[in-house]
Amino acid sequence: MNYWLLLIVLFSNLVSIAKAGLTIRDDNNQGFAQMDIYSTNGSFVTDLEIGSNNQPVTLLISDSYADMLVMLPNVTCKSGYQYIFPYVIIDREDFQSETDASDNSNCTGFGVFDPNQSTTFYQHPAKKFFVYNDPDDDTFSFAGVWGQDDIKFNDNFQVFNLTFGVSHVFNQVIGVLGLGPTWLELQSLAGKKEYANLPSLLVQQNITQRNVYSMFMNTEEAKNGTILFGAIDYSKFDFLETRPIDSHLASQWEFGLSSREIWLENYETEEFKRLYDKSMPVQLDYNLPNSELPSNILKSLVQNLGITYDSSALFQEISCDMLDSEDEFIAFKFGLANNSISVPISSLITQEDDKCMLAITTPSDNFPSVTFGLNILKYVYLVYDLERFEISIGLRTFNESAPANISVITKQTSRGPLDSELKRAVSKANNGIHFTSTFAFIVPIVISLLFW
């Protein structure tokens, strides 16, 4: 009788996982791809290999772009393009007459790609070159051609025939790997047909099941992090709240969400002061070291911390005693639940000699928004759903002794990764068991019990 009870429990757990839209991990076909990222010069990058001869490049990670761009070995490092909005295609002859070939400063230190050395490279037949300027930063410009080739990352993940730009003129020191939605692709912005960028191609080639990826820092030092394409790791957060992509930010080519309230919380005195109680767009930028608050919210925060607000200062000076405070937090609420992204004020303070500054600035433009830079994002677990245009956000937990609890997101996932039932089903089923080869372990037991 006990054997049949065990069978029922095992079967019910497996059914719970299936209903939740998750799959059990399998080493041979795990259903997700992991990409390691790390910080260099204040920006997060990853290492890739391109082509049949595995040419190594290091690329900047960006969720605000959707294209991958690399540089040729003979790239011209160019600066000071005239502002072009947002995307212009010009003939080869016209382009050559507008560039300064004498500018040959080095911008190849993070690797280049030579298509002539790869037998799998395919150049798109279009005879046009592209020139692009970021409307928010006219120093980001490039020109070249579109092509396709295979890429590898983290040693064991390979994607075939990825479309990317190969630039012979570039004015950045590093190429870019865009992970944004395909409507942010340069061709789409120019009114042309979208193509499958890296997150989309992982789905098409059955490496992942959904166009979803999660991103988090590995430690509080935020020197390196992880991107999980097609999966989430439940051991890295306590809760998730899912919000739609903010429509205001979408109009500005940003991939963000909106907070509902902003609070200053003091758990020693049990004082909780609301700094802002209206919807506020929140941008997410791992490559920005410091976060940003609109001036009215920053002023309220500073004054409630007992500091005199200086509107002319880039950073607000603060008492270095705050470095030892473990009780004061700035909290951002996104959903209807009481969950919040609470960040200790002490982690937002930088010290130089005997002077301490609050490492929060105000936006340079007139658009009122909050920007989570790295000093906040290191406390955040993010899930980008590029199919349903949602972002899930949760408070990152740092428990190095906790084993990974990675679950694949499938087409059957009903609401996205925040679904509480989905979390409960997985937590209950896993309950300390490593499911890498669970079926291989359970099936022999079931068969033996049936014929006992």
Could you tell me the pLDDT band of residue 63, with boundaries at 50, 70 and 90?
Answer: confident
What Å distances lie between residue 306 and 269, 309, 316, 319, 410, CA to CA? 15, 9, 12, 9, 49
**How confident is the model at residue 97, as a pLDDT?**
35
pLDDT digits (tens, 9 = 90+) for 361-408: 998 766 788 999 999 999 999 999 999 989 999 999 998 888 999 999
pLDDT of the residue at 77: 78
* AA letter at 373: G
Per-residue pLDDT at 201 exceeds 90: yes
**Amino acid, single-letter form, for residue 155:** D
Confidence of residue 316 (pLDDT cuts 50, 70, 90): very high
Q: How much of the chain is helix, strand and coil, in % rounded to 5? A: 20, 35, 40
Q: What number is the average pLDDT over the span 334-344?
A: 83
Strand residues in 63-186 grouped as ranges (E): 68-77, 87-90, 122-123, 129-134, 137-153, 157-170, 175-178
Instruction: Measure Cα distances from 389 to 250, 300, 411 in Å.
Output: 10, 32, 15
End-to-end, the C-alpha distance of the chain in Å comes to 12
Q: Which two tokens stand for residue 441?
A: 């372990």
C-alpha radius of gyration, the chain, whole number: 24
Higher pLDDT, 400 or 282: 282
Domains and CATH numbers, the chain: 37-208 (2.40.70.10), 238-400 (2.40.70.10)
pLDDT digits (tens, 9 = 90+) for 87-120: 333 333 333 333 444 344 567 889 999 999 999 9
β-bridge partners, 372: 284
Helix (H) or strand (E) holding 257: strand 257-259
Q: How confident is the model at residue 186 (pLDDT cuts 50, 70, 90)?
A: confident
pLDDT digits (tens, 9 = 90+) for 20-36: 344 434 444 589 999 99
Give the mean model confidence (pLDDT) for residues 413-425: 45
For the segment 125-131, the average pLDDT, to the nearest whole number, is 61
Residue type, position 91, single letter: D
Copy the structure tokens of residue 272: 């909780």
pLDDT the model gives residue 441: 29
Asked, as a colleague might, if the bond just before 86 is cis with ω within 30 of 0, I would say: yes
Residue 433 confidence class, pLDDT cut points 50, 70, 90: very low
129 pLDDT tier (thresholds 50, 70, 90): low
Question: What mean pLDDT do residues 271-284 have?
Answer: 92
pLDDT band at 76 (very low <50, low <70, confident <90, very high): confident
Query: Do residues 187 and 193 lie in contact, with contact meaning Cβ atoms separated by under 8 Å?
Result: yes
Task: Look at residues 265, 215, 254 and name the one whose alpha carbon lies nearest to residue 365.
Answer: 254
